[in-house]
C-alpha cells in the first residue's frame, strides 16, 4: 500500500513549532517512502477559528519547503480537504453506528454534565459520562424523538464497551493496552451538528486512505477510543506514531507555551532565524540520527530520517542549539546575501540615513562570524549609533588590572591623532606602532583599546571596528 501521511492543523492562529515538527516528520515519512503528504484543515471547532489562520498555515509550510501533494488549495482525489466542507459525511457514519447500536443520541444538558463534573472533582475521581441516555425513561424517549424530529440541539455519543481491553501498537511507545471500562462514551457529533475532532479525523483519515497517523503523545491516552471506533466502523487501523511533547525547559513539565518567544515559527522568523536552522533544530527535537552528525538539509533528512530514532521522553526546543545552527547557516552565506538578510533588522532600530551603503554593508559584514540571528545585529552595533558607551564592572576591572594599560592607551591616542588618511591600513599601523612603543602584547594591547572605544572585551576585527566608528568618535572615547 502506498504511504500516505497527513498534517491536519486547526486554523487558530500562528503555527506552533510542535505542529510544524509534526508536519516535518509526516513530510519526511511520506517522501522517503515515495508516498503522498496531505494537508487537511480541521476547522470543526468554529469558536476557536481565527480569520487568516489558514493562509498562515499555507505560507509557513511553503516557506519551510514542506510542500504538500494534496490539500485545500491544490485539490486532489480525496477532497474536500477542509473538514467543515465534509459535514454531511460525518453524520452519515454516525447514523450508521446508531442503527447498529454502536452509538446513541444524548440529550443531557450542559447543566447536568457540569454538576456531574463538579461531583467527580469533589470526590477526587476522574469524570466520566454515566451513559444516562442509553437507558432513557419513556418520557425522555419521547422528548428525544421530538428533539431529533425538530432538529433541536443534541449530541451523538459512541458507545464504548464495558468489558475487555483495547490493545494497539505505537511505533514509538510499543504495545499499549487499556481496560475498556475506563473509557468514556465520546461525543461524535456536537450540538451544532459539527463533528468532534475525535470522530472527524477518523472518518477523514479513512476516506483519504491515510496509512500513518503522526501526532503528539498527548493523544496516546485517547487512541484506544479511536481504535474502538475504527473497529466499529470496520476501518483498517493505520500505523500510529506519537511524538514526544516539546517542553519549556529541561526541568519543566510544562508544554512549550505559545506565549514563549520561541513557540511559533512566525516569532522565530521575526527574530531573524533561517528556514534551514528552524528545520534542522525541529528535526532533532525528539529524534536522534544514527550517524554522529547534526547538520542536515531537508533533502538529507529525507534520506536519513528513521522513526526508530524518535525518543519516548519529552523533548526540548533548545534555543541555544537553534542559535548555533542559525550562526552556522549565516556564516555559509555569501557577503551580499548576508548583508541583504540582516540589513532590515538594523534599519528597524537605527536611522541609517546619515551613512552610505558602503559603510552600512561593511558594518553588517564584520559581524557575520558572530551573529546568531538577525535581530542580534541591533545589540552588536549599538556602539556605532550611540555616542555614549557603558563600561561594565568586568571591563573596568580589566582596565585597572595592570599599570601599563594607561600608558598603552595614551600612546594609542597619540597615534590615532596623527593619522591623516583615515583607513584600515593606517589604523593597523597605529596599533602596531603602539605595540612597539608600549611593549604591550596580546590582550594587554588589544583589549584595553577595544574596551575604551567599544565598551566590550571582544568583537570583530579591531582595525575595521575603529575605522567604522570614525576618528572623531574614537578620540572622544579615548579621552
Does 152 participate in catalysis according to the annotation?
no
Average pLDDT over residues 220-232: 95
Name the burial class of residue 79, with classes exposed (0-12), middle (13-18) and buried (19+) by CB atoms within 10 angstroms of its CB. Answer: middle
**Per-residue pLDDT for 428 more than 70?**
yes
Q: Quick one: pLDDT band at residue 257, thresholds 50, 70, 90? A: low
Q: What is the pLDDT of residue 256?
A: 64
Domain boundaries, the chain: 1-72+244-332, 86-243, 393-478
**Sign, Cα dihedral of 384, 386, 387, 393:** negative
Residue of 228, 185, 246 whose CA lies nearest to 22: 246
d(CA 215, CA 45): 18
393-478: CATH topology is: Arc Repressor Mutant, subunit A (1.10.10)
Query: CATH classification of 86-243, choosing from 3.90.320.10, 3.40.50.300, 3.40.50.620, 3.60.20.10?
Result: 3.40.50.620
**Per-residue pLDDT for 259 more than 70?**
no
Q: 305 near 287, Cβ under 8 Å?
A: yes
Q: What is the pLDDT of residue 249?
A: 61
Residue of 150, 145, 153 whose CA lies nearest to 109: 153
Query: What are the counts of helices (DSSP H) followed by strands (DSSP E) for the chain?
Result: 21, 11
Residue of 278, 315, 283, 324 whose CA lies nearest to 300: 283
Average pLDDT over residues 234-252: 85
Q: Which of 95, 255, 258, 321 is catalytic?
A: 258
Q: For 377-392, what is each residue's pLDDT tens digit?
A: 999 999 999 988 888 9
SS3 of 76, please? coil
Q: For 440-453, what is each residue's pLDDT tens digit?
A: 988 899 999 999 99
- Name the pairing type of β-strands 315-316 and 246-247: parallel
Percent of the chain scoring above 90 in pLDDT: 77
Q: For 269-299, what is each residue's pLDDT tens digit?
A: 999 999 999 999 999 999 999 988 999 999 9
Domains 1-72+244-332 and 393-478 share a fold: no
Q: What is the pLDDT of residue 137?
A: 77
Give Dmax (Cα) for the chain.
107
Q: Quick one: pLDDT band at residue 146, thresholds 50, 70, 90? A: confident
**Per-residue pLDDT for 368 more than 90?**
yes
- Name the pairing type of β-strands 4-7 and 36-39: parallel
Which residues contact residue 456 at a Cβ distance below 8 angstroms, ignoring those fewer than 6 apart?
383, 395, 450
Q: What is the pLDDT of residue 342?
A: 98
Return the H-helix or E-strand segment holding 107: none
Q: 104 near 133, Cβ under 8 Å?
A: yes
Q: Quick one: pLDDT band at residue 45, thresholds 50, 70, 90? A: confident
Q: Quick one: pLDDT band at residue 253, thresholds 50, 70, 90? A: low
Q: What is the pLDDT of residue 252?
A: 57
Grid cell in block for residue 374: 538577525
Average pLDDT over residues 190-203: 90
Q: For 121-136, what is each residue's pLDDT tens digit?
A: 998 888 889 998 888 7
Question: CATH second-level architecture of 1-72+244-332?
Answer: 3-Layer(aba) Sandwich (3.40)
Alpha helices in 216-264 (DSSP H): 223-232
Beginning with the edge strand found earlier in the chain, give each strand of the sheet holding 155-158 in spatial order. 103-106, 155-158, 187-189
User: Which range, 38-47, 48-57, 428-437, has the best average confidence (pLDDT)?
Assistant: 428-437
What integer best gives the mean pLDDT of the chain? 92
Q: What share of the chain is helix, strand, coil (3-state, %, to 5)?
A: 50, 10, 40
Q: What is the pLDDT of residue 347?
A: 97
SS (H, E, C) 328-365: HHHHHCCHHHHHHHHHHHHHCCCCCCCCCHHHHHHHHH
**Per-residue pLDDT for 406 more than 60?**
yes
d(CA 222, CA 187): 13
Q: Quick one: pLDDT band at residue 313, thresholds 50, 70, 90? A: confident
Q: What is the pLDDT of residue 260?
A: 54
Q: Quick one: pLDDT band at residue 351, thresholds 50, 70, 90? A: very high
Q: What is the pLDDT of residue 141?
A: 75
Q: To 10 degrees, what angle do helices 471-478 and 443-454 make?
A: 100
Amino acid at each position: 500500500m502506498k504511504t500516505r501521511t497527513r498534517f491536519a492543523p486547526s486554523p487558530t492562529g500562528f503555527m506552533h513549532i510542535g505542529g510544524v515538527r509534526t508536519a516535518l516528520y509526516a513530510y519526511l515519512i511520506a517522501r522517503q517512502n515515495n508516498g503522498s503528504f496531505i494537508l487537511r484543515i480541521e476547522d470543526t471547532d468554529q469558536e476557536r477559528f481565527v480569520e487568516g489562520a489558514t493562509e498562515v498555515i499555507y505560507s509557513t509550510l511553503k516557506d519551510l519547503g514542506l510542500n504538500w501533494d494534496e490539500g485545500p488549495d491544490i485539490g486532489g482525489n480525496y477532497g474536500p480537504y477542509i473538514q467543515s466542507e465534509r459535514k454531511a459525511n460525518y453524520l452519515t457514519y454516525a447514523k450508521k453506528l446508531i442503527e447498529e447500536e454502536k452509538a446513541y443520541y444524548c440529550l443531557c444538558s450542559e447543566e447536568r454534565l457540569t454538576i456531574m463534573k463538579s461531583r467527580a472533582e469533589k470526590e477526587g475521581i476522574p469524570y466520566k459520562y454515566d451513559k444516562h441516555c442509553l437507558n432513557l425513561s419513556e418520557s425522555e424517549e419521547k422528548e428525544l424523538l421530538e428533539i431529533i424530529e425538530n432538529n433541536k440541539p443534541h449530541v451523538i455519543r459512541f458507545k464504548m464497551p464495558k468489558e475487555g481491553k483495547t490493545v494497539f501498537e505505537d511505533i514509538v511507545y510499543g504495545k499499549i493496552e487499556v481496560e475498556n471500562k475506563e473509557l468514556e462514551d465520546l461525543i461524535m457529533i456536537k450540538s451544532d451538528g459539527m463533528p468532534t475532532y475525535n470522530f472527524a479525523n477518523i472518518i477523514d483519515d479513512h476516506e483519504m486512505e491515510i496509512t500513518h497517523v503522526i501526532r503528539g503523545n498527548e493523544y496516546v491516552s485517547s487512541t484506544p477510543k479511536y481504535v474502538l471506533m475504527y473497529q466499529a466502523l470496520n476501518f483498517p487501523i493505520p500505523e500510529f506514531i506519537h511524538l514526544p511533547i516539546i517542553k519549556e525547559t529541561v526541568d519543566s513539565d510544562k508544554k512549550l507555551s505559545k506565549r514563549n518567544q520561541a513557540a511559533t515559527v512566525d516569532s522565530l522568523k521575526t527574530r531573524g532565524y533561517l528556514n534551514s536552522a528552524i528545520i534542522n533544530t525541529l528535526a532533532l527535537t525528539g529524534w536522534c540520527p544514527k550517524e554522529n552528525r547534526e547538520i542536515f538539509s531537508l533533502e538529507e533528512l529525507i534520506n536519513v530520517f528513521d522513526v526508530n530514532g524518535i525518543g519516548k521522553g519529552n523533548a526540548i526546543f533548545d534555543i541555544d542549539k537553534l542559535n548555533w545552527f542559525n550562526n552556522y547557516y549565516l556564516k555559509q552565506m555569501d557577503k551580499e546575501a548576508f548583508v541583504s538578510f540582516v540589513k532590515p533588522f538594523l534599519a528597524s532600530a537605527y536611522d541609517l540615513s546619515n551613512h552610505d551603503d558602503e559603510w552600512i554593508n561593511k558594518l553588517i559584514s564584520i559581524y557575520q562570524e558572530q551573529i546568531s540571528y538577525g535581530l542580534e545585529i541591533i545589540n552588536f552595533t549599538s556602539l556605532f549609533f550611540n555616542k555614549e558607551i557603558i563600561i561594565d564592572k568586568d571591563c573596568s576591572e580589566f582596565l585597572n588590572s595592570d599599570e601599563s594599560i594607561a600608558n598603552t592607551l595614551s600612546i594609542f591616542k597619540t597615534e590615532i591623532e596623527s593619522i591623516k588618511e583615515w583607513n584600515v591600513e593606517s589604523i593597523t599601523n597605529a596599533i602596531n606602532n603602539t605595540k612597539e612603543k608600549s611593549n604591550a602584547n596580546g590582550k594587554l594591547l588589544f583589549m584595553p583599546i577595544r574596551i575604551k572605544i567599544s565598551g566590550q572585551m571582544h568583537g570583530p576585527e579591531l582595525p575595521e571596528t575603529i575605522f567604522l566608528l570614525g576618528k572623531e568618535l574614537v578620540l572622544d572615547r579615548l579621552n
